[in-house]
């Protein structure tokens, strides 16, 4: 090419620039080779070209070809044997940037060669490493001009650089795939691991291997003891028969003096290293804080005993390992919580059975009356209770009770149903009825319920009047309880022969009495406050007579304070309306009607309070 042919030079330089851009955009090796060969053939007006690459066993193989003549079709006989250019390259005789070689393949090939006989061979090198050979052929050969040789040399260097970069990219892709596979396997192993310690040890082994480090360790911050503990380690030199986990720093739970990254740990640390850490002889260091729910719980670090600069990719990989570590610790925490909840559920089930034993196992049979009781706790255990107390007759003598058939207690969904059966009250006997509500829920309420129920029964058993019972029970509750809880209570005594009902109220919901004579509902009001607040409260003694057909409904606020989706309360009016509409039915049917109405009103809302009801009906 004449040196004065400026337009052509500009065109060739532009093509060379296009080659550079194309190689820069190409990532995969085959893409790089195809792009380079096509541009070079067009740039220098060659008819054909091909590229050999040399593998790790020093063997050349055809990597890419462009516009081969029919005599050199691939695959074919011309490519079976090695050619002269490969032998020259192996022996080091292709010592120029561009070498003119008479092609042995073309010489021995049969068929249309398109007039080709020789080619220019460019060894592709990266430093001293031989990557392959670039061959370019054309019909009109002659001697290449110095400018053409220079351009070919530049193109060869560009192609060699692109090959190295593509191989590094593919190696990086392979490494990323291997890392991802290792992380996935590690994640599955940690998920299936039954023992936390073995899972942590595996994580440190995988961490050291993936980061090609000598050691990996998880140092846990023991905040309560104020120390740092070696929880898992791989590649550490540890004393024989040392207790595990091993205390690392007895004075500081967090290794604040360690840098995030260092190639010389002893020079980069802000304070003298703990003896065990100093004995490891670590030079290179990369660490990351491990956080759980935003709180630092330790450090995950990798180390090498020779100087090394960790890259950003290494820090990202360590961060992924730290994330797996956090997931493992969180999963273990949730597992322990689940075990604790399961144990608590078992204990609460036992507590429910114990609490059930405090409630009457049946309703007494009262001649001339029908009686039904219902209890359903909002949780496994609750604070509501009811009780029936067999009291002596008015004259003070205790009449014998007559037992009838025993009846089992039914529990369904946390509810207790007491069926009429046992005992049968004799004429002249009295029946004490209690309904109460501890102002709390769950286990505290259940414990306070047991105390209150015991004290009320012990106070009422000798037949004293309702107001006296509440006064004395209040004093006993204040003396025995230090929990700050209190209980609402309604206590009534029924004289079965006359229907006289004397009662007192300790801050409880007013029971509802449907009166057959008037067809109306009368709340049984009585002055009094809840038990367990003040030492000497006043309770009013009230009295009413139940006539045949009258219905008495005792209930707790779990009925009237049930809420719907609009956060409206069920209320006293709805309860009164249900009693008004169902007074002619049996006590059991009245209870069922109330429960159905409350359930329908709540419309799927969870029960927020215990529900207890006692219904007494005089039938004649």
**Residue 391 pairs with which residues in a beta bridge?**
430
E-assigned strand segments in 237-358? 246-249, 261-262, 284-292, 295-304
Check residues 169 and 38 and name the one with the higher pLDDT.
38
Is the pLDDT reported for residue 413 higher than 70?
A: no
Q: 53, 63 in Cβ contact below 8 A?
A: yes
Task: Write the DSSP symbol of residue 67.
Answer: S
Residue 23 has a pLDDT of: 77
Nearest CA-CA partner of 44 in 162, 154, 165, 132 = 154
pLDDT grade for 108, boundaries at 50, 70 and 90? confident
Residue 502 CB contacts under 8 Å (≥ 6 apart), including other chains:
465, 466, 492, 493, 541, 542, 543
Q: What percent of the chain has pLDDT over 90?
A: 40
Per-position DSSP letters for 342-383, written without gaps between them: HHHHHHHHHHHHHHHHHS-SSEEE-TTEEEEEEEE-SSSS-S
Please choose, from the candidates 482, 516, 487, the residue with its C-alpha nearest in 3D space to the C-alpha of residue 499.
516
Do 269 and 258 meet the contact criterion of CB atoms below 8 Å apart?
Answer: yes
Q: What is the pLDDT of residue 408?
A: 39
**One CATH from 3.40.718.10, 3.60.40.10, 3.30.1490.20, 3.20.20.70 for 359-618:** 3.60.40.10
**pLDDT tens digits, residue range 473-484?**
999 888 876 667
Cβ atoms within 10 Å of 527's Cβ, excluding its own: 14
Please write the tens of the pLDDT for every residue from 296-315.
999 999 999 999 999 898 99
Percentage, residues of the chain above pLDDT 70: 91
Which CATH number does 194-335 carry? 3.30.450.40
Task: Give 381 or 1, the one with higher predicted confidence.
Answer: 381
Query: Is the Cβ–Cβ distance between 371 and 420 less than 8 Å?
Result: yes
**Per-residue pLDDT reduced to its tens digit, 45-74:** 788 999 999 888 888 888 899 989 988 888
- The per-residue pLDDT for 5 is 66
Task: With CA atoms as reference, report the closest residue to 377 among 606, 600, 569, 603.
Answer: 606
Query: What is the spatial distance between Cα 138 and Cα 120, in angstroms, rounded to a whole number?
Result: 9
Mean pLDDT of 503-526: 96
Topology given in CATH for the domain delimited by 6-171 = Beta-Lactamase (3.30.450)
pLDDT of residue 328: 87
Q: Where are the domains of the chain?
A: 6-171, 194-335, 359-618
β-pairing verdict for 369-376 and 246-249: unpaired
Q: What is the per-residue pLDDT for 142? A: 63
pLDDT of res. 216:
96
Say yes or no: do domains 6-171 and 194-335 share a fold. yes
Residue 399 has pLDDT above 50, yes or no: no
Pair of tokens at residue 579: 């009693």
Task: Count CA atoms closer than 13 A to 199's CA, side-chain side.
Answer: 22
**pLDDT recorded at residue 422:** 47
Residues in the chain: 620
How do 420-424 and 284-292 pair as beta strands?
unpaired
* Separation CA 581–CA 575 (nearest Å): 10
The per-residue pLDDT for 423 is 58
Structure tokens at 427: 């004429």
**Shortest CA distance to 489 belongs to which of 439, 430, 440?**
439
């Amino acid at each position: 090419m004449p040196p004065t042919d400026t337009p052509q030079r500009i065109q060739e330089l532009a093509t060379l620039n296009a080659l550079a851009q194309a190689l820069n955009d190409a990532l995969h090796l085959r893409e790089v080779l195809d792009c380079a060969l096509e541009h070079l053939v067009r740039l220098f007006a060659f008819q054909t070209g091909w590229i050999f690459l040399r593998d790790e066993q020093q063997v050349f193989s055809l990597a890419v070809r462009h516009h081969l003549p029919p005599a050199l079709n691939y695959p074919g006989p011309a490519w079976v044997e090695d050619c002269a250019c490969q032998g020259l390259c192996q022996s080091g005789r292709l010592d120029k940037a561009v070498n003119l070689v008479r092609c042995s393949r073309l010489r021995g090939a049969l068929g249309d060669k398109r007039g080709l006989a020789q080619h220019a061979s460019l060894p592709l090198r990266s430093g001293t490493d031989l990557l392959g050979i670039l061959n370019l052929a054309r019909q009109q050969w002659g001697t290449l001009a110095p400018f053409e040789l220079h351009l070919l040399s530049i193109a060869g260097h560009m192609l060699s650089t692109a090959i190295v970069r593509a191989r590094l990219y593919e190696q990086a892709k392979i490494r990323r795939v291997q890392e991802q596979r290792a992380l996935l396997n590690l994640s599955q192993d940690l998920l299936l691991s039954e023992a936390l310690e073995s899972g942590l040890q595996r994580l440190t082994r995988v961490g050291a291997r993936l980061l090609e480090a000598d050691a990996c360790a998880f140092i846990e911050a023991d905040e309560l003891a104020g120390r740092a503990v070696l929880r898992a380690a791989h590649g550490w030199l540890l004393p024989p028969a040392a207790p595990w986990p091993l205390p690392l720093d007895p004075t500081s739970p967090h290794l604040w003096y360690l840098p995030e990254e260092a190639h010389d740990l002893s020079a980069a640390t802000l304070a003298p290293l703990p003896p065990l850490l100093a004995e490891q002889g670590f030079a290179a260091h990369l660490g990351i804080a491990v956080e759980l729910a935003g709180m630092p719980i330790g450090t995950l670090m990798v180390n090498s005993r020779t100087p090394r600069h960790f890259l950003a990719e290494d820090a990202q990989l360590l961060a992924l390992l730290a994330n797996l570590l956090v997931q493992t610790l969180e999963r273990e925490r949730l597992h322990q919580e689940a075990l604790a909840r399961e144990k608590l559920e078992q204990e609460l089930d036992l507590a429910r059975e114990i609490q059930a034993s405090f409630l009457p196992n049946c309703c007494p049979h009262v001649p001339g009356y029908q009686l039904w009781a219902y209890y359903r706790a909002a949780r496994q255990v609750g604070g509501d209770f009811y009780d029936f107390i067999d009291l002596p007759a008015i004259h003070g003598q205790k009449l014998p009770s007559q037992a009838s058939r025993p009846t089992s207690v039914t529990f369904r969904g946390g509810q207790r149903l007491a069926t009429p059966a046992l005992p049968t009250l004799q004429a002249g006997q009295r029946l004490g009825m209690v309904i109460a509500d501890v102002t709390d829920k769950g286990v505290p309420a259940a414990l306070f319920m047991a105390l209150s129920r015991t004290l009320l029964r012990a106070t009422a058993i000798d037949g004293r009047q309702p107001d006296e019972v509440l006064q004395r029970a209040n004093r006993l509750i204040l003396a025995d309880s230090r929990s700050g809880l209190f209980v609402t209570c309604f206590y009534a005594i029924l004289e079965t022969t006359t229907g006289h009902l004397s009662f007192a109220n300790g801050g409880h919901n007013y029971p509802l009495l449907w009166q057959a004579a008037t067809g109306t509902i009368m709340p049984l009001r009585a002055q009094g406050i809840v038990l367990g607040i003040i030492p000497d409260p006043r309770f009013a003694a009230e009295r009413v007579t139940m006539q045949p057909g009258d219905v008495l409904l005792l209930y707790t606020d779990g009925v009237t304070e049930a809420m719907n989706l609009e956060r409206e309360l069920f209320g006293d009016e709805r309860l009164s309306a249900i009693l008004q509409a169902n007074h002619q039915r049996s006590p059991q049917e009245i209870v069922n009607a109330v429960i159905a109405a409350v359930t329908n009103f709540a419309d799927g809302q969870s029960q927020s309070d215990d529900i207890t009801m006692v219904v007494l009906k005089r039938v004649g």
